[in-house]
Amino acid sequence: GIDVALRNLSQELASSLRMYQGFVQGFRAQTELLRAWADETTLDIIWQNKIQQQQQQHERRSGNGDEDQQQQHQRERFEGVVARVETCRACVEEAVHRGKSAVMASSIGGSRNRQTVMAQVRAGRKALVYCEGIVELASKAANEWLACKYLVGEMEEARALLDRKKHPWICESS
Specify the pTM: 0.80
The number of beta carbons lying within 10 Å of the beta carbon of residue 128 is: 15
Reported as a single tens digit per residue, the pLDDT across 118-158 is 889 999 999 999 999 999 999 898 889 999 999 999 999 99
Which pLDDT band holds residue 78 (cuts at 50, 70, 90)? low
CB 152 within 8 A of CB 130: no
Taking residues 73-94, report their average pLDDT.
83
Question: Which pairs from 165-169 meet CB under 8 Å and 24+ separation?
Answer: 167/119, 167/123, 169/116, 169/119, 169/120
Query: According to the model, what pLDDT value does residue 164 have?
Result: 86
Of 77, 97, 90, nearest to 20 by C-alpha is: 77
CB 127 within 8 A of CB 6: yes
Query: According to the model, what pLDDT value does residue 70 have?
Result: 54
